Structure 1
Amino acid sequence: MRKPRLLWVSDSPVLYTGLARVARELLPRLACQHDVDITCYACFSAHKDIDPTKFPYRILPGDDQYGRETLEDVLRREEHDVLVTCGDVWMMDWVARESRSSGRWVAAVTLDGEGMPEKWQDALRTADKVVTCSSFGTQVVEKIVPERRLRTIPLGVDTAAFKSLGSRRDEARLGLGMADRFVVGCVARNQPRKQLPLLVRAFKQFLASRPNAVLYLHCDPRDQAGSDLVELIHREHLERHAGVTCNVSVVQGATADDLNAIYGLFDVFALPTMGEGFGLPILEAMACGVPVVATDCSAVTELVRGRGELIRVKDRQTVGPYNIALAIADTEHLVGLLHKLYESPELRAEYGRRGREFAETMTWDRCAEQWAELLEEVVAEGDSPSSTRRRAGSDVDLWPSPPVLSRRPPEGPNGGGSGMRIAVVSTFDYPCGIGVYSESLVEQWRKLGHEVWCLGERVPPGGLRGEFPAGQTVRCWQRGRSWAEVARTVRRLQPDVVNLQQELSFCWDPGEWDAVLRQIQAVCPVVVTYHTLPKEPQPVTRNRRPDVVVLTSPRAFEAALREGWTTDNLAFIPHATARPLSALPDEVSHRVVTWGILGQGKGYGECLEALKLLLAEFPDATLTIHAALVPGAWSEQVQFFESEVMPGVWRRGLDTKVRVVLGWPSDGDLQALVAEHSVGWLLYHHFDSAWCASASLQVGWSACRPVITSWAHHFDVTPDLQ
């Protein structure tokens, strides 16, 4: 099979810019590890003597701006399957106007602010694929580009090169006269977006009460695009407490070893940026175990939240010729965060540990693997679009049965058969439907004779409703924290299959998700149960894929089919009752439908429409809404139900048939409902706009009704992964 031929256009890999770093790290891996035939059109560089051991691919020198003058000739002359342009949209928007007789165009774009000019939008619409390196960038582009042409591939860091100095740190600081100093450092280009003057002013305020502090800036102090930092430091009388690296520019930068030594000097890395397309220096600082303070904006939030301190955004300004809305960091808040970290070595150490753990999941090897998969897909689509990722259409059954059933032990639960070894990762015993769902799932699988471990938060012995061996509960993950410990636990347990009970807030970072998924799949197959899906599929359906995905709402199932999944590795299993209700009488006079709402106020109007449809189908039903309020937001959610939900019920004429109960329904609540209303059917489900359309509602209802008194059958759904 012929190698895919790639023409990559970006800053020259011999330079010292962020885009050059991407090319320098990514292209050798694609060439050597993934067998891609690469030609790099190197912008801003006329270098012709290139070391082939460092750059194992052809480099075409390009000294004009982003190839505007000469790339068209290169496109005609160089045979290629895929053209990749890597940079800000404004750098490459002209490519859309060029005549490309062959090859497909992948636009790899970095977006550091909100808003996009019309000509940028037009350019991205002509690209065959658009790749962003952050969830923020994806959110900006998804309004313009169809989901099937959009990918999120985060950048990486070389954790072998960027690491803690360890015992060498004290010696290095002593040699520079920093032994007893608190070092606030920054590695960034001196340009307006980085807001280095704001950092200088904030440091001056911090210094007033912390006289042992110093500021270390690694950048070109007189970059023509930025400020004269030497003059600014002199004006602020900081010569004895602030310094800037000399002889640094885009053509004369520091090696990875030099940068690692610089990061190692810092007690805190601070960057009051207006916006970042990704933030490589932030990730590098994390890899070195340095706590990070950066602005709560753009892709920065994804990198830093939970692993460092985020500077509050004081204002937003529309800047530049393209009218991009960028953030202005709150100087006073930055000063306060520096004091906070100064006073707490323990917090600095904790952020350093979390940052390093996260960095270990964000490798360039992972990035290259995702790019290789994308290039293979793009080449295949170019050869025969109809033969690759099948889309949902008239020939696709949107409502198939689950593809296969699980392997039940031959002798049954008490017959001595050997079941599967299953690790279930979820938010056990958390006050939400997923926790209840997961507990019931574990109980049913145990009854079927499988050996099950619970991995997640809140899984102490006895935490589950039923008896559960203490040795099979492992607290190795918390909501909003790193998944790295989950991968380590799976490697230790060596199960037959891992089931991840996934929800939007559980793993928001696509790079970490892909890396952890890869590590788990090296041990065993992965089945992901998705309980919610946004209008654009989660990163799990864009990048590295599980072996099987189970979706619990019709709309999510349909979206996944359109994203390119097939029913060979996709199952639709709707939610039903959280507890078996086999004791219910057959003859009843009323039907009660209990819905659980995770009270965040989204889609309530559509949910009320769903209630209206249910009442039309079951006119004798009495519907009780149990509003499950999120801890920490009680008052806001109570106000929401009083001001929005109940008036909506009244306006739709449902007030005599629907009641709202605030709080999470316990087993006692369910028993009370059974006793009060002679319950015949109980449907336990999150409110989800997937259940709004009558067709979806009808499918969901008909699928759930037969399993109300036999929920165990629907838990027996682990696909045959042979």
Structure 2
Amino acid sequence: MRKKRILFCSEATFLNTGYATYTREILNYLHSTGKYELAEMSSYGQRNDPRAKDIPWGYYGIAPNTDCEPKASQQEVDAYHSSGTNQFGEWIFEHVCLDFMPDIVCDIRDFWMLEFAERSPFRRLFKWCIMPTVDARPQARQWVASYAGADACLTYSDWAGGVLEDQSGGGINYLGSAPPSAHPAYHPVEDKAAHKKRFGLDPDCKIIGTVMRNQRRKLYPDLFEAFRKFLDNTARKDVYLYCHTSYPDLGWDIPELLQQHNLSSYVLFTYICPETKKPFPSLFKGAVIQSPFTGKWGATLSNVKNGVSYEDLSSIVNLFDLYTQYANCEGFGLPYVEAAACGVPVCGTDYSAMESEIRKLEGFPIKPKALYKELETGCLRAVPDNELAAKYFESFLSKGEEQRAEEGKRTRKNFEKHFQWHMSGKKWEDYFDSVDIPDISQTWCAPPDISEPAPKPELPPNASAVDLSRFLIAEVLRDPSRLDTFLESRMTRDLTYRSATSSTGGMYFNESSAAFDGLNTRSNFDFNMAYDNMVHQRNRINQWEQKRIETMHQRGILQR
């Protein structure tokens, strides 16, 4: 019996992004079983990327070769940049499928990064197992409809699973959560006071720390306000807030926040020496400062392009006495788990995936003061309670050294109990082993699904939008499986209103991609436009189905 072929769509596993790390660890686990034939289709990796040479499974780089040989043609580069979703793999997905012929396709990313697989002409030929990021509620109806169309669905958190099960009315084949773990470099230090002293800090000082990128949903203004309230309430001079973040960035104006809350002497940041690459903590002294290692100017705050190693970030987190994640939502919130791995107690916003993490780690949930509905996504976002946070900071730091140390040990044990790679890998393995794979004659060598779209009819004056939508799907797209789905509902609505949301690449199917592109615009829509869209999709299916049969003939898998 042949091995099952499993294709993971994600970011290149030689990168250190969140998606890349998760995919690398799960593929490493699956590869160690020896049971599967594996491959990755990788965003931000080039077709012949030399960084992929040591990957022990199949590799399909999504980006064209611009930095390695053979160089891509200008036509190929232009095609790649013609649509925002191509960076996620849409432009080569069918090519990869024909080469690898997967039994199961997996994706662990945001909706607009993964939804192209649902629209693929080859969707009926593979099982689709997804783990979408669910960072807020409610999820958009289109997202939930797509997740319900997958053969199986996991989530990063138990909270996310509850949201999807509730909104889908049990229509999603939900398998449970399979959260990420921390890198092995994250572990407790034996002597925290001595560790602080090695970094040039007062060994007796106390530190509330956070690791958050400087972006809109990371609520630095509220965190600074809560910390200011704590200082005012306690009059303590021995407590610092430590922010491992970036500036300048596309988020908050850090110097302005420091000045506004009079915190310039109480907030530490991570700077990195450009020559030694070593990090060092410092009060904010500007975007570029002098390195203590070389005496030269040029040290900058840590950022995505100039980050620190896992080992160095573990050393930074181990400076913290308490970790806090002050965000209005999180798809997961890996720094919680990394802090827990270091034996640092945690607290944070009691909303979204953070609800699950905080409780599993037995941390302190800071109840939001309110939730507000975001215009762009329709999702609820948290407004933190800064008074409550300030009171908890005071309560935690008033505990004795021994009691805080015990909480740290308990946090580490909870990390070991709930957040381990082998446990999450087993969740994927169990699903793959449960899937019965049909004979190839029923999948990649199945008879082609080629149909001619019905001619455009003369419309009767009283034709209803419902009837027109059903005709377009059943007779033009020639895909009855799309009847009674979100596509039919949306087309009926748009034909009724004679207006539709603009979408990425002109693809009518994905209305939510407009949010990804920032193109929240409306355009005219009528039966003629809907007909042309369905004809385009039907012709695309026909072309790829013909290509599939030709490819199977060329390989000798299918006899003429």
Q: Which residue is 1:206 aligned to?
A: 230
Q: Which residue is 1:127 aligned to?
A: 150
Q: Which residue is 1:583 aligned to?
A: none
Following the alignment from structure 1 to structure 2, what is the Cα–Cα distance between the partners of residues 258 and 148? 41
Following the alignment from structure 1 to structure 2, what is the Cα–Cα distance between the partners of residues 293 and 221? 24
Q: Which residue is 2:95 aligned to?
A: 73
Q: Which residue is 1:223 aligned to?
A: 249
Q: Secondary structure at the match of 1:191?
A: coil
Q: Any conservation in 2 of the 1:83–1:105 contact (CA below 8 Å)?
A: yes
CA displacement at 1:240 relative to structure 2:
2.6
Q: Which residue is 1:443 aligned to?
A: none
CA displacement at 1:21 relative to structure 2:
2.3
Q: 1:542-553 residue pairs with structure 2 within 5 A?
A: none
Q: Any conservation in 2 of the 1:19–1:86 contact (CA below 8 Å)?
A: yes
CA displacement at 1:276 relative to structure 2:
2.1
Taking a change above 3 Å as real, the CA distance of residues 51 and 257 of structure 1, as seen in their structure-2 partners, is farther
Q: Which residue is 2:257 aligned to?
A: 232
Judge which range, 23-32 or 288-297, deviates more: 23-32
Residue 120 of structure 2 is aligned to residue 98 of structure 1: yes
Taking a change above 3 Å as real, the CA distance of residues 197 and 70 of structure 1, as seen in their structure-2 partners, is farther
Q: Secondary structure at the match of 1:238?
A: coil
Residue 333 of structure 2 is aligned to residue 307 of structure 1: no
Following the alignment from structure 2 to structure 1, what is the Cα–Cα distance between the partners of residues 314 and 399? 24
Q: Any conservation in 1 of the 2:343–2:411 contact (CA below 8 Å)?
A: yes
Residue 380 of structure 2 is aligned to residue 297 of structure 1: no
Following the alignment from structure 2 to structure 1, what is the Cα–Cα distance between the partners of residues 424 and 314? 21
Instruction: State the Cα deviation string for residues 598-632 of structure 1 (Å, max 9, x = none).
Output: xxxxxxxxxxxxxxxxxxxxxxxxxxxxxxxxxxx
CA displacement at 1:75 relative to structure 2:
2.8
Following the alignment from structure 2 to structure 1, what is the Cα–Cα distance between the partners of residues 437 and 255? 53
From 422, 428, 434, give the equivalent of 1:377.
434
Q: Which residue is 1:351 aligned to?
A: 407
Question: Number of paired residues?
Answer: 381
Q: Any conservation in 1 of the 2:14–2:52 contact (CA below 8 Å)?
A: no
From 318, 340, 365, give the equivalent of 2:395.
340
Following the alignment from structure 2 to structure 1, what is the Cα–Cα distance between the partners of residues 142 and 388? 37
Following the alignment from structure 2 to structure 1, what is the Cα–Cα distance between the partners of residues 195 and 137? 44
AA at the equivalent of 2:32 = C
CA displacement at 1:323 relative to structure 2:
0.8
Q: Secondary structure at the match of 1:75?
A: helix
AA at the equivalent of 1:368 = G
From 247, 257, 270, give the equivalent of 1:245.
270
AA at the equivalent of 1:294 = G
RMSD of aligned Cα (Å):
2.5
Q: Which residue is 1:7 aligned to?
A: 7
Following the alignment from structure 1 to structure 2, what is the Cα–Cα distance between the partners of residues 308 and 288? 14
Following the alignment from structure 1 to structure 2, what is the Cα–Cα distance between the partners of residues 243 and 376? 49
Q: 1:162-561 residue pairs with structure 2 within 5 A?
A: 162-167=186-191, 170-208=194-232, 209-224=235-250, 226-246=251-271, 248-305=302-359, 307-345=362-400, 346-361=402-417, 362-378=419-435, 380=436
Instruction: State the Cα deviation string for residues 288-332 of structure 1 (Å, max 9, x = none).
Output: 110101111122222222711111110001125221112221011
Q: Which residue is 1:111 aligned to?
A: 134
Q: Secondary structure at the match of 1:245?
A: strand
Q: Secondary structure at the match of 1:199?
A: helix
Instruction: State the Cα deviation string for residues 107-154 of structure 1 (Å, max 9, x = none).
Output: 111211111222212211221111112221111111317467211133
AA at the equivalent of 1:240 = S
Q: Any conservation in 2 of the 1:43–1:62 contact (CA below 8 Å)?
A: yes
AA at the equivalent of 1:155 = P
CA displacement at 1:342 relative to structure 2:
0.8
Residue 210 of structure 2 is aligned to residue 153 of structure 1: no
Following the alignment from structure 1 to structure 2, what is the Cα–Cα distance between the partners of residues 79 and 234? 58
AA at the equivalent of 1:239 = S
Following the alignment from structure 2 to structure 1, what is the Cα–Cα distance between the partners of residues 213 and 36? 32
Following the alignment from structure 2 to structure 1, what is the Cα–Cα distance between the partners of residues 14 and 373? 33
CA displacement at 1:27 relative to structure 2:
1.7
Taking a change above 3 Å as real, the CA distance of residues 164 and 52 of structure 1, as seen in their structure-2 partners, is farther
Following the alignment from structure 2 to structure 1, what is the Cα–Cα distance between the partners of residues 427 and 5? 17
From 129, 133, 137, give the equivalent of 2:160.
137
CA displacement at 1:230 relative to structure 2:
4.2
CA displacement at 1:201 relative to structure 2:
2.0
AA at the equivalent of 2:385 = D
The TM-score normalised by the length of structure 2 is: 0.63
The TM-score normalised by the length of structure 1 is: 0.50
Following the alignment from structure 1 to structure 2, what is the Cα–Cα distance between the partners of residues 217 and 347? 25
Q: Which residue is 2:80 aligned to?
A: none
Taking a change above 3 Å as real, the CA distance of residues 265 and 68 of structure 1, as seen in their structure-2 partners, is same
CA displacement at 1:229 relative to structure 2:
2.6
Q: Any conservation in 2 of the 1:222–1:230 contact (CA below 8 Å)?
A: no
CA displacement at 1:368 relative to structure 2:
1.0
Instruction: State the Cα deviation string for residues 326-350 of structure 1 (Å, max 9, x = none).
Output: 2221011111111111101344323
Q: Which residue is 1:436 aligned to?
A: none
Taking a change above 3 Å as real, the CA distance of residues 261 and 344 of structure 1, as seen in their structure-2 partners, is same
Instruction: State the Cα deviation string for residues 52-86 of structure 1 (Å, max 9, x = none).
Output: 55x43333322443223333332333321111111
Following the alignment from structure 1 to structure 2, what is the Cα–Cα distance between the partners of residues 182 and 67? 46
Following the alignment from structure 2 to structure 1, what is the Cα–Cα distance between the partners of residues 200 and 439? 59
Taking a change above 3 Å as real, the CA distance of residues 323 and 40 of structure 1, as seen in their structure-2 partners, is same
Following the alignment from structure 2 to structure 1, what is the Cα–Cα distance between the partners of residues 245 and 3? 40
AA at the equivalent of 2:178 = P
List runs of 5+ in structure 1 lacking aligned partners. 385-722
Q: Secondary structure at the match of 2:9?
A: strand
Instruction: State the Cα deviation string for residues 664-722 of structure 1 (Å, max 9, x = none).
Output: xxxxxxxxxxxxxxxxxxxxxxxxxxxxxxxxxxxxxxxxxxxxxxxxxxxxxxxxxxx
Q: Which residue is 1:542 aligned to?
A: none
Taking a change above 3 Å as real, the CA distance of residues 52 and 162 of structure 1, as seen in their structure-2 partners, is farther
The percent identity for this pair of structures is 28
Q: Tell which has more relative contact order, 1 or 2 (C-alpha 8 A, sep 6+).
A: 2
Q: Any conservation in 2 of the 1:159–1:360 contact (CA below 8 Å)?
A: no
Q: Secondary structure at the match of 1:114?
A: coil
AA at the equivalent of 1:340 = S
Q: Which residue is 1:49 aligned to?
A: 50
Q: Any conservation in 2 of the 1:278–1:299 contact (CA below 8 Å)?
A: yes
CA displacement at 1:39 relative to structure 2:
1.6
Q: Any conservation in 2 of the 1:230–1:244 contact (CA below 8 Å)?
A: no
From 101, 110, 129, give the equivalent of 1:88.
110
CA displacement at 1:43 relative to structure 2:
1.6
Q: Any conservation in 2 of the 1:181–1:213 contact (CA below 8 Å)?
A: yes
